[in-house]
Structure 1
Amino acid sequence: MSVPSSARPPVTSHVALSMRDVNVFLPTSTGEIQILRDITFDVGRGSVLALAGESGSGKSTAMLAALRLLPSGARITGEVTANGERIDLLDAAGLRRFRASAARVIFQDPWSSLHPMHSLGDQLIESARSADRGLTKAAARSLAEETLQRVGISDPAARMQSYPHQVSGGQLQRVVIAMALVASPSILVCDEPTTALDVTTQEQILDLLRELKETLGLTILIATHDLDVISGLADDLVIMYGGTVVERGPVHDVLERPTHPYTWALLQSSPDHRPGERLRPIEGRPPALDDLPPGCAFAPRCGSAEEICRTTPARLLQIDRGRATACTRVQAQSGISEVEAAA
């Protein structure tokens, strides 16, 4: 079923990227497996939205689904709108144009994002010219050097001559960010861009993303498994579990007053969120997407689960202005019914 209307705000001019009731199915030898269910959220223009959850929660898949970058054979339903354009209706040529100019992706492993046999300069120039703005090679080179300077690379002209294996991980991630920026995108999609980096470099990359958001007005969608990583970067937060959204709202509201037991459990297991306190690991394992329980997917691991949680499918409903949760127990305690939420 689709998300109730109250949890599906209308797409406005203030929204840069919108997903509505997006489902993803992957083929297997025994038939299709649904790996995303009714994903619905908006990313405000010039804001940062973070998707968070454990490995396998579906956060990276949701981002790639928005750009239609899933493996061949994947089936996607639902609506995706970017800058007022229905991305899900574009043909192959339209998708190439969209990915080359309007939206760029930064993956978590910078080494796999670059060709080892080509210089960084050649790859930056190719990225700049792929945006189809009529740049000459000389103009693209100048833009590449200027962009390397912007992302904190010293002596960019010399760095253009380097190859990926000659650059540290932190510097290489800056280069990958520069490769995205040379296309002047309005949307930057970041798939756990700090995971492969040490703690100090992680903070430097996050500081860079904050600066780019402020100076360039970029809209950023970022996936992470660490809530504390994005507490000072994101404006809004979407928590995912079992291939669906279980909580959504302004980042500080969600972190300070979580409404879904899974969000609370993530925070209790974070050393940064509980400094000096004993951590509380989440018992059990995430569910197999082809064998989800009949009720809430988190119920088997939830210490607060009641019978209604185990038997009634959880639905994402609005519980407060800007807040939505898929916790059946919280909805019942708040006196919210699906009919009232959809009114």
Structure 2
Amino acid sequence: MPSYTKQGSSYERDMDYIPDRITQEPGRSQDRYDDARLDVRTWPVEPGRYRLVAARACPWANRSIIVRRLLGLEDVISMGLAGPTHDERSWTFDLDPGGRDPVLGYERLQEAYLARYPDYDKGITVPAVVEVASGQVVTNDFPWITHDLFFEWRDHHRPDAPDLWPDDCRAEMEEVMERVFTEVNNGVYRCGFAGTQDAYDEAYDQLWTAMDWLEERLTDRRYLMGEHITEADVRLFTTLARFDAVYHGHFKCNRNKLTEMPALWGYARDLFQTPGFGDTIDFDQIKRHYYVVHEDINPSGIVPKGPERESWLSPHSRARLGPPR
């Protein structure tokens, strides 16, 4: 889960990540960053060299789990899963026997960060890519992780992998993803962590303006960019999957439920029932993370029982808007 910093009465996402990338042409990278604090470089694409550390509870990590699955990279990049709860130090591997990741041997993801940067003092976030041999973190820059899984690992995709970044709508897709990130993905957090009524009201209004825009956009198109699934759908889905279970109540995003928006709810179920999406979702872990970790919002630590998973499996009738997947 990315960390946050408080800007006055509002909470904003801390986007200061380890900026390294894994590319087909590795070498020193000076084009995107000029950061003297970190050894900024690119790493080579090499099957078996890296381990994706994620958590099913975290929407930002959930993106990388979905993209890895859609592209068929399971045998190329291994994956370790942290448990849904953590303390201020780090995500932990408490789901694994003995509480250690079976490949890295770590109890805490923090160990991979400190293996590379002994004085690392920023958030220990998921997703993170770790080099298996050295046990060192490579990057935790979540938008670029999924971007590079598509563009840089193409030689290792399954033959029928979806085109998540289609050329013919790339510019529009970037605009859609930026608005989804700012007003929806991050918008729910700005509601939940608002420090004043005014900050909350502003975030709430922006969120629901965007949700209404999405409802209208998805009324006559199957996916955000038309007839085929793209990276934009992955990024929106992970927020929608958590909306009624967490954000509606826990983050006070309660104008209405997702289930009360016909197009968005049908769209979310359509994706959920698509291999690679719903099979990455664990509602119990999601709820345990938010309701247990956020003690300032939910001091009792009580985790709600609903809503039921079965509703996500109901017919959605979205196929009429596009060709078979």
* TM-score between the two structures when normalised by the length of structure 2: 0.27
Bigger strand fraction: 1
Greater radius of gyration (CA): 1
